[in-house]
Amino acid sequence: MDSDLRIKRLENRLNALIGFVIAGAFAVVIAVSVLWMRPTSTQEGLTLRDDRGQVIAQLGGAAGRALQLFDEKQNVRAILEVGSNGPGLGLRSPDGELLVMLDGDPKNPGLFLCDPPGTTRLRVWMEKGRPVIDLLSLDGTVERSFPPASDQ
């Protein structure tokens, strides 16, 4: 009974985390595009500027298949990109390191948290309809899994 309650709480937290990541990504895109910018279309893609003419976001072009978000000093603060292996969304640091990846691959969907240099350290995915959280070592092997394999 106690482990069922823990699993249910873990599922609720997992669903909230995934929902928060997705909602946050959409909220940033909507807020930037609606509230503070004027879109200007160029051959390089779509550049969004504030009322002072400073670039706030760039979609496509030099950004590739990504949305780059800039701060007031024109430094790249975040990069949201479409995965090269299929549907998905990645968040990179300004220096290009992969931090978070939301993978929509039908064979292996999940949320992956990475530490530099882009090594997956935490993997949240579904197995047989149940969320599984894996803590990974630097070489990619599973150090710990929640719920443990015996609970599945």
* Domains and their CATH numbers in the chain: 2-151 (3.90.930)
Identify the weakest region by mean pLDDT among 30-39, 78-87, 117-126, 138-147. Answer: 30-39
36 has pLDDT over 50: no
Q: Is the pLDDT of residue 135 over 80?
A: yes
Provide mean pLDDT across the span 40-49.
Answer: 66
Distance (Å, whole) CA 20 – CA 4: 24
Residue 2 reports pLDDT greater than 50 = yes
The residue ranges of DSSP E strands in the chain, in sequence order, are: 38-42, 45-49, 55-59, 66-70, 76-82, 88-92, 98-103, 110-115, 119-127, 130-136, 142-146
Cis peptide before 148 (omega within 30 of 0): no
Q: Is a pLDDT exceeding 60 seen at residue 34?
A: no
The model scores a pTM over 0.95: no
